[in-house]
Each structure stands twice: as C-alpha cells, then as structure tokens.
Chain A
C-alpha cells in the first residue's frame, strides 16, 4: 500500500508570494494533519482536518489555511510568504486523527523563501 504522498518535494518562492502544498493520505485514513518543521526543531502542529472539517489549528497566523477534499486529500495554502516560512512542511495521516493513533508522515515539502 502507498504511504502518505506529498507534492512538490521542493519549492522555492520569494517573499510575498503564495504557495499550495498537497498531500494524499494512506488509503482508508480520514484524517490529515499538517506540521511545520524548522531545521533543528521538532514538528510543530499547524492544522488537522477530519472528514473535511477543520478540527483545530496551532499557533499560526491566518496566512496559513488548508482544506480537505472528499477523497481525504488535503492542501495547505500559505499567503504573503515571509522568510521565516522557510521550513519542511510535513503531512501526516491517521485513521481518525485522535492522539492515541500513530501519525504516518509523508516525506514533506521543503519550502525555501528567498
């Protein structure tokens, strides 16, 4: 079975632009969570979606938004990019998203802001 897939793998943008990152969960998983990982730090929770509804968000500005589609894939959108948005963006899926279930991570999208 395919794991969590993310696209693109790498992306270079300039300040002020916007970006869309995509994620396909493991088949049968209905929950997708997005994390930001800055070099040398642990993943930081951005959003979780379950059954197309946002369950909650972490401490990120409104420039960050996401949505989940009927096939449970998800997009993360970031507007007005800042240099500080440079990071590895990880998508993780699980059957229902509750914290007692392991998170299955994709390979991530490496976003660089110039």
Chain B
C-alpha cells in the first residue's frame, strides 16, 4: 500500500534557528496537504499544494512540492516558540479513491527559548 514518510521524526532547535521537514510518498500525488498539531490539540490545516514544483509561502513558512509530485518540504525560518508542534503531510490514497487521506507519522518540533 501507499506509504507517506516524513523525516526527521523529531527536531529540537534553539529559537531563531531554521527548521525543515521532508515528506516522501511511494506514489505520485495529485496534491499534498500540510497540517500542524499543537501538543494536546488536533490537526489544523496549513496549506495544500497541487502543481509540480509549486512553492507557497505563509509568513515564515515555505512549502514546496517536488517536480515529480512525490515529495514535499516545509521550511520554517527563524523559529519561534509558537511553532512548537507536530507537522504532518498528507496525500490522497494511491488506491484511486478521491476521499481517503494518508498521513505521514509527522515531525515533532520543539523550540528552546
């Protein structure tokens, strides 16, 4: 079955340092979504990427979708303590369904003030 893999599993940074998490799919994706889950909270939608090579920015967050549409990355510039949480990527199931999302295991980001 389809696999969505994320690395690293954990990342601890000093406040002000940059952070990047990578997402790789075993199959080509029609789109990819990113979610953030704060400790004790629920996943919150951040962004969706659809086009090959697409790059989108949200303030200090930069999202990229690979040319082959099998990988994606999230980069945070100058992390802040408010960035703490687990970042998940999610893509459509490879079985052809148009409704099932497969999530990666996530990258847990902790920030030391």
Q: What's the A-B contact tally at a CB cutoff of 8 Å?
A: 66
Interface string of B86-113 (1 = CB under 8 A from A): 0010111100011111111110000000
Residues on the A chain within 8 Å of B31, using CB = 99-100
> A99, B101: Cβ atoms under 8 Å?
yes
Interface string of B25-64 (1 = CB under 8 A from A): 0000011010100000111110010100000000000000
Interface string of A30-64 (1 = CB under 8 A from B): 01010100001111110010100001101000000
Residues on the A chain within 8 Å of B104, using CB = 42
Residues on the B chain within 8 Å of A90, using CB = 42-43
Residues on the A chain within 8 Å of B43, using CB = 43, 90, 103, 105
Residues on the A chain within 8 Å of B4, using CB = 42
Closest to B92 in A: A99
Closest to B90 in A: A42
Q: Number of A interface residues, CB 8 Å?
A: 26
> A41, B105: Cβ atoms under 8 Å?
yes
Residues on the B chain within 8 Å of A97, using CB = 99
20 A–B contacts, CB within 8 A, in A order: A40-B105, A41-B106, A42-B4, A43-B43, A43-B103, A44-B103, A45-B100, A48-B100, A56-B97, A58-B100, A99-B93, A99-B97, A99-B98, A100-B30, A100-B31, A100-B48, A103-B43, A103-B45, A106-B42, A107-B41
